[in-house]
Amino acid sequence: MQAPPSPRQTPTLQIHAVRKDFGDRHALEALSMTIAPGEVYALLGPNGAGKTTTLNLILGFLTPESGHIEVADVRVDRDPLGARAKIAYLPETVMLHPTLSAIENLSYFALLGGRRLDEAQARALLSEAGLQDEAHARRAAGFSKGMRQKVGLAIALAKNAQLLLLDEPTSGLDASAANDLSQGVRAASRRGIAVLMATHDLYRVKDVAHRLGILRAGRLLTERHTAELSAAQIESLYLELLAVDGQAA
């Protein structure tokens, strides 16, 4: 994606030398990374690399062995609720109330977060997240995974968060729904929201992210600006790095 934000801005997310162990397994080893306001960062890596662990540490659901994390200048270890208030998280399965419409679900979840939306505001957020107008007033019971994710993204946007976390958002989506999701992520970026997306979807990375990081066995092997690489180069970089690293291991 073009026009990455200026690196001079104070980063929205700062991860400082974070280590996380599960028993004698090192899930993350001194992970450091930053994401600027409006920047979309794709975190790539094979199964077990530590992507979900990274998201759980940012959310304060896990505590690191050492190092620390700041979200919009709030330290997660010192003020976990304050940090979480600045984060919107799109889980892999978005749970909606089946008997409520998209508008009603969005309004309900926004109200839980302390924000009252009128119908026009709810419709505007759903459109921004890519949900077609015709579905706004329909009951969520019949929604596809892609539609549920769009409502989830609208809920995330309604929160006025500064950091959006997505864990494999395009897994199980068809090509058109995955493209819609990319549009929703770009909408968040335009609002100045920093986005961290754990993904296996190498082909969409160039289109949706400004930067990528490749994680393997808890170590960040490289970080690159996607503008410098073609989609094919991103795929070969990924495969080469994992193959080389695999031989060394």
Ligand X SMILES: Nc1ncnc2c1ncn2[C@@H]1O[C@H](COP(=O)(O)OP(=O)(O)OP(=O)(O)O)[C@@H](O)[C@H]1O
Partner from Mg ion, ligand X, none binding residue 27, C-beta < 5-8 Å depending on class: ligand X
Among 27, 154, 193, 212, binds ligand X (CB under 6 A): 27
Does 52 participate in binding Mg ion (rule CB under 5 A)? yes
CB 97 within 8 A of CB 104: yes
Shortest Å distance, C-beta 48 to ligand X: 4
* 195 token code pair: 């986005």
Shortest Å distance, C-beta 13 to Mg ion: 18
CB 31 within 8 A of CB 15: yes
Does 56 participate in binding Mg ion (rule CB under 5 A)? no
- Which residues, including other chains, have CB under 8 Å from residue 49's CB and lie 6 or more apart? 215, 216, 217, 218
Binding range to ligand X, per CB under 6 A, among 19-27, 100-108, 188-196, 206-214: 19-27
Nearer to Mg ion, 52 or 127 (CB): 52
Cα–Cα distance for residue pair 167/199, rounded to 1 Å: 7
Does 47 participate in binding ligand X (rule CB under 6 A)? yes
Binding range to ligand X, per CB under 6 A, among 42-50, 64-72, 119-127, 221-229: 42-50
Q: How many of the chain's residues bind ligand X (CB under 6 A)?
A: 11
Burial of 47 (0-12, 13-18, 19+ CB in 10 A): exposed
Sign of the Cα pseudo-torsion (114, 197, 148, 97, in order)? negative
Closest CA to 158 of 194, 118, 196: 118
Cα–Cα distance for residue pair 158/41, rounded to 1 Å: 21
Shortest Å distance, C-beta 116 to ligand X: 36
Does 202 participate in binding ligand X (rule CB under 6 A)? no
Nearer to Mg ion, 12 or 53 (CB): 53
CB 48 within 8 A of CB 37: no
CA count, 13 A, side-chain hemisphere, 74: 17
Shortest Å distance, C-beta 124 to Mg ion: 32
Binding range to ligand X, per CB under 6 A, among 20-28, 31-39, 93-101, 173-181: 20-28
Burial of 152 (0-12, 13-18, 19+ CB in 10 A): buried
Does 64 participate in binding ligand X (rule CB under 6 A)? no
Does 78 participate in binding ligand X (rule CB under 6 A)? no
Nearer to ligand X, 31 or 88 (CB): 31
Residues that bind ligand X (CB under 6 A): 22, 25, 27, 45, 47-53
